Amino acid sequence: MGLPGHTVLTTLQYEGAHWRRLCEALAGAEILRFDGPDATGFDAALARSDVAILAKDPDARFFAAPRLQWIHVDHAGLDKAARPEAFREGLAVTGSAGRSAPVLAEHALFFALSLAYNSPAFLAAQQARRWGVPGQENLRGLFGRTMGIVGFGHTGSELATRARALGMRVLAYRRKDGPVPAEVDRMFSADAGDSLDALLEQSDFVVLALGLSEATWHLIGARELDLIGPKGYLINMARGPIVDEAALVPALAEGRIAGAGLDTFEIEPLPGESPLWAMPNVIITPHVTPAVPDRTARSLDIICENIRRFAVGEPLLNRLTRQDVYNRPSGRA
């Protein structure tokens, strides 16, 4: 079908078969390819483009471009693109959420297993040639325990399937009401008026897998951490600012929650002076997850399907809505 008559600006650096597949999906369109938004001639190209397919988040120029009808950003979290001006009439913004969902779910399980098995302590004992660690007789595996998943999109769904396969009870919380998947024991939703409290209170492991927005900023604070309680663990696979770190640090230090697995932080890279680095009940990864096989092909599946939908006027996958708006400064050091 392609996009005949359209002008498409792209900063994707795909090569070989991946680039050919994108060109085939855009058949008939004028394709303007740049290394990045600072390249010579970029602004003039943007001014006459109606579609932009980008490797990185758009800046203010894109939202002001009068002809632009659709922006696709080739990564999952779109909080940096979800500015109020992104929701102007006639503009759609989409992303590649779901391309890495299986390994993000694995990453959450890596945290859950490592925390349950107290793997940092056993690694330290191994390095010290010491047999065993204090409290090892009190450890419990994941089987028979409860995982609460906050955010039931691509990653949340993949995680529920894996948690159920390990014999866990699965609770989930999502924004929209709807049918409950077979792998979920109980589903809570904002649209149904459900509070997050019940999930926090009942879960041994609370996994954050939701988007960052004005509504979810500091969703997990001191009160919510107290609901998780001294036997519960927090795992953040979402965005750092969803958790109030000023409340998290004392909750961990005082044993008001058992521990945390953290891949994202309010400021990234995590500053060296952060107390989180030295906490024995915290496992940190630097906002990085191992890749799925051919992640670019998985991105292209989403992009090509959205090209088809854009051409025929169907709803686009992974489209930002006004509920996703996020208007706070970026937390980069």
Cα–Cα distance for residue pair 310/46, rounded to 1 Å: 19
Count, residues in the chain:
333
Q: Are 74 and 52 in contact (CB under 8 A)?
A: no
Q: Tell me, yes or no, if 18 is annotated catalytic.
A: no
Upstream peptide bond of 269 is cis (omega within 30 degrees of 0):
yes
Q: Tell me whether residue 268 is one of the annotated catalytic residues.
A: yes
Tell me which of 287, 295, 309, 319 is the catalytic residue: 287
Among 183, 201, 214, 268, the active-site one is 268
Phi, psi of 294, rounded to the nearest 5 degrees? 50, 65
Q: 6 catalytic, yes or no?
A: no
Spatial distance between the Cα atoms of 315 and 328, rounded to a whole number of angstroms: 28
- By DSSP bridging, strand 282-284 and strand 259-262 are parallel
Sign of the Cα pseudo-torsion (47, 52, 58, 64, in order) = positive
Rounded to 5 degrees, what angle do the CA atoms 56, 85, 73 make? 20
- The catalytic site residues sit at 239, 268, 287
